[in-house]
Structure 1
Amino acid sequence: MRLLLLEDTEDVAEAIVACFTRRGDAVDHAGTLAAARDLVAVQDYDIAILDVTLPDGEGTEVLRDLRQAGKGTLVLVLTARANVDDRVSALDGGADDYLVKPFDLRELQARVRALARRTQENRSALIEFGDIVFDPARCELDVGGVTVVLTRREFSLLEIMLANRGRVIAKERIFERMFSFNEVEVGMNAVETYVARLRRKLEGSRVSIKTLRGLGYQLVAER
């Protein structure tokens, strides 16, 4: 997933970025309202994690910008404000979830996974396709009853492909979901590399990744 994190407390931001990066997500971090607005102007995000109180305004202004622009980005609001009125205001303003500081990173990850499942037809915690079973919470893949170990990049790619299973997804879209802006050394060919690696992990299963030249990739399952 491609995530936007708006958080001005540096140590909190570093912990959140590290947490999701280890999982394989691409995270763009902004420490100010202005920086976050610059990011959403040029990049679409699956999920935005927005702190409320910032040096130059409130994170809910980014939420308002997203909703006014008609973007379907899922939004989780972070704040130290614990009163009910603040929570109601954020939710009524278009937020999808709300988490009060201090929080456990495991709960934040769980809430983000729950938000991601809202866009899936099957909202189960496990994703089954062909003869593979994918567990995003545990970062585990089962192929025909055998556990297969994935690197964080392979995990990220498989998550993207499963979210779009049966549909053709362009290489460019895969790239922007796998890599953040600060990974400037990574080129588009990295997608081909990780597709090849994931294909090897899926060998022997009924699931495969098709290449449609000039269009992109498609995850399919034989019946």
Structure 2
Amino acid sequence: MSYDLAVLRGQLGERLHYFEEIGSTNEEALRLGQSGAIDGSVIVAERQLAGRGRRGASWFCGEGKGLAFSMLLRPQFERALWPRLSLVAGLAVAKAIEAAGLFPEVKWPNDVLIGGRKVCGILMEAEKDFAVVGIGFNVGQADLPQELREVATSLETEGAGELARETYLLGVEAAFVNYARLIATDFPYLVEMLRERCALEGKKIEFLVGQDRREGFCQGIGDGGELLVRNGGKVERYFAADQIRPLL
């Protein structure tokens, strides 16, 4: 089913940039940012042909069933805090999904999981004076490719109630705006929310730091939003890591 553009335009106004087909909403958001587009611009596509995730991974998005959009941000707080936008995005998606009667978890930094399987991926990219947060999640994709079914899921597969894609999109956008306001003023509140949803706490995990593969036991989320990992008798703090996964 197509987006209800009247609903989206009614809420987003001139901030909405809608495309029937696009290579990547993040690429378009980066282009718009360089052209002076306003803070809070939202780029939405019915079909995304070259969506991507962290470290160049692709993102599957079935036509009319997935949700792919990017937000253009011009933060007014210090740049050192910008990485927190990525954490906030995961929380915003989780909050929006709650409206469907589900309680998702967040796998640090921002993968959103239901029942241990990924329902949403988030990619943040930053330029000199703006940032872009791209969000892709599976709404009605009960027909996920076989090779993805062990690691990915959709709201439909998980028995979510019937909500239109624009409802999820606007829910994410509204929650994100509210949470982003707290990044510089009440980050401890956001950290507590992250801790409540942490999918990795207490589990043995492996992950990449650069090209170095490491492992340890996740001790949760630190006060600065970092990942805490116990290795032997020492708890190490990671503000950046990739390919994080629990070990059996």
Q: TM-score of the superposition, structure 2-length normalised?
A: 0.28
- Answer 1 or 2: higher relative contact order, Cα 8 Å, separation at least 6: 1
Greater fraction of residues in strand: 2
